[in-house]
Amino acid sequence: MSDAKGRDRMARYFNKVTPLFLHRELTKEERFTVLEEFKKGQTNDNGVKERLLVTSDDYAKLARKTIIPFVNLVVHFTVPRTEEMYLVQSNVTGRQGTVGVSLLITSTAEDPLYMTLCKNTSFTQYEGEESFHPVAIKMKYDTVAEPLTLPTADPPEDWRDHLNDPKPKREKKNAKDQE
């Protein structure tokens, strides 16, 4: 699906919030630009910062080393391949003492993978909007009046100045240091 077609389709599902796409084919500069737009969000008529980031497993890898702006909901449209991937993707929600929700939408074709995931992960099943409502009202929203996204969230304001900086070298551990 092209980004333009996907963007229009997702916007219809998510109350006309324009989605941003983050994936492996983007350059480093494009990825940071997407994250910058995600951090800013779109302010709706009620003063709520709306953000919609559509991504793949690449996001989980990025989330490990990036301070992602405030996220209160992650929707998995497929069952992640591993429990670790599911947990990494889901744990970006509910930070700073807020309620975060990770929804996993499954199909019967994914039942074996889902059952494997259920062995070590507990899930609450919601059947329709009514059963989810008590959780939804506990969620906090990033607003102009009460911002929840920290100024230190990535990307930093000066990211363009450091785009081509060399990666820091890792120190090699000496066998003597490990004793």
Interatomic CA distance for residues 42 and 18, integer angstroms: 8
Predicted confidence at residue 6, as pLDDT, reads: 64
Predicted confidence at residue 1, as pLDDT, reads: 46
Which residues touch 122 (CB under 8 Å, ≥6 apart)?
A: none
Residue 173 has pLDDT above 70, yes or no: no
Q: Which structure tokens are listed for 109?
A: 């074709």
Interatomic CA distance for residues 69 and 106, integer angstroms: 27
- On the CB side of 123, CA atoms within 13 Å amount to 20
Which residues touch 148 (CB under 8 Å, ≥6 apart)?
A: 70, 96, 98, 140, 141, 142
pLDDT mean over 84-95: 81
pLDDT mean over 23-48: 87
In single-letter form, the type of residue at position 52 comes to L
The tens digit of pLDDT for each residue in 50-87 reads: 888 887 766 666 666 676 777 888 888 888 888 888 88
Which residues touch 65 (CB under 8 Å, ≥6 apart)?
A: none
Q: Between 117 and 6, whose confidence is greater?
A: 117
The tens digit of pLDDT for each residue in 94-153 reads: 777 778 888 888 888 988 998 998 898 888 888 877 888 888 888 888 888 888 787 777
Predicted confidence at residue 64, as pLDDT, reads: 65
Interatomic CA distance for residues 41 and 142, integer angstroms: 9
Predicted confidence at residue 65, as pLDDT, reads: 67
pTM of the model: 0.68
Predicted confidence at residue 134, as pLDDT, reads: 87
Interatomic CA distance for residues 45 and 88, integer angstroms: 32
Predicted confidence at residue 169, as pLDDT, reads: 74
CB 61 within 8 A of CB 86: no
Interatomic CA distance for residues 52 and 75, integer angstroms: 10
Residue 178 has pLDDT above 60, yes or no: no
